[in-house]
Structure 1
Amino acid sequence: MATITKTIKDAGVSLGSTPWGNLSALRYLLATNAAGAVLNSDSTAAAAQGDVIRIGILPAGFRFVDSQVLVKVGLTASVTGKLGFAYVDGKDDTAAPQDDDYFGTGLVLSAAARLRNATANGTVVLKKDAYLTLTLAGADNAKASEVEVVIFGIAEGVN
């Protein structure tokens, strides 16, 4: 049996400035008040079906690996959502098209749960900053809630 070693290292295997690699976990918190409005946002209206909530910014050069949605305190009964991303500048990118359900769709947000990314999407490297978006469906929110979203990725930088 032979031992075969690649002579050219993959570009994505750079370990960054630490011996532990460059995997990052970006944490975003979404909370609503007793009326269902998103706290620390530009709106005082309750979050409703069809609303797109920009939870935070995903940095350019970030390669998506996985995601988790931790519903600590659920939204109103029947509220579901889809989790994705949209570019901050509003302009799509053909190499990495914005996708409103990249991390999942039909996510049940009305009960405490840990929801793992279950999509079959390939990896995407953001060429520019993008909003992490949650689009609500199923029902309007009318209660206090708390949802944590963690996006795992590799900080590769922009080429």
Structure 2
Amino acid sequence: MATIKKKNTHTRQFGGLSPFGNLTSLTYLLATNGTGAVINSDSTAPIAVGDVIDLGELPEGMSLEDAQIIVTTGMTATIKGDLGFKYTDGVDLTDVPQDASYFVKGGDLATAGRVRANGSKLITLQKSARLILTVAGAANAKASEIQFIVTGELKGPR
């Protein structure tokens, strides 16, 4: 099981400083090449079962309210994924524990369409975290394009 980190996420991200509110949607793109490897990442190997893909940062103080996965071009048949978060420093918190399937458990990544969050908790991140996708079902062996949208309120550090 490998951890694959995507490069250059949110190089042009703006948000959270509007006088009209602090609701923000953060988008993360996951694209794979013809061999099934993540484009613009630190790995050239195809995505395998159990791989964790680090999609990018979730800022400290963000109240996580919703997420959706938009599959434009699906991965190899039967691939599923869990969408969640882990803390940047790797240290868990009792009040708000890391959760690899916080947003989505077993979402279909092989079929074009929209996958909505199926988690049941609302939390506010007490420290910076990483949005992670854990792959299950099969290894990827084809080009794909998937966008992840996380919506929440930027409340700032406590």
Does the TM-score normalized on the shorter chain lie above 0.5? yes
Cα distance in 1 between the residues matched to 2:30 and 2:17: 30
1:129 positional shift: 1.1
Is the aligned partner of 1:59 residue 2:53? Answer: no
Q: Which residue of 1 aligns with 2:151?
A: 152
Larger radius of gyration: 1
Deviating above 3 A after TM superposition, structure 1's stretches of 4 or more consecutive aligned residues are none
Identity of aligned residues (%): 50
Which residue identity is paired with 1:27? Answer: T
Structure 2 runs not aligned, ≥5 long: 1-15
Task: State the Cα deviation string for residues 87-118 of structure 1 (Å, max 9, x = none).
Answer: 11111111211100000111000010111112
Counterpart for residue 42 of structure 1? 42
Task: Name the CA distance, whole Å, in 2 between partners of 1:95 and 1:125.
Answer: 10
- Output aligned runs, 1:1-159, within 5 Å: 17-18=18-19, 20-121=20-121, 123-159=122-158
> The residue matched to 1:139 in structure 2 has which SS?
coil
Give the aligned partner of residue 3 of structure 1: none
Between the aligned partners of 1:153 and 1:64, the Cα distance in structure 2 is 5
Count of equivalent residues = 143
Structure 1 residues 17 and 28, CA gap change in structure 2 (3 angstroms): closer
Structure 1, gaps ≥5 residues long: 1-14
RMSD: 1.3
Distance in 1 between the 2:70 and 2:135 partners?
16
Q: CA deviation at 1:68?
A: 0.8
Deviations 1:6-57 (A, max 9, x none): xxxxxxxxx9651x31100000000100000011111100000000000111
Structure-1-length-normalised TM-score = 0.87
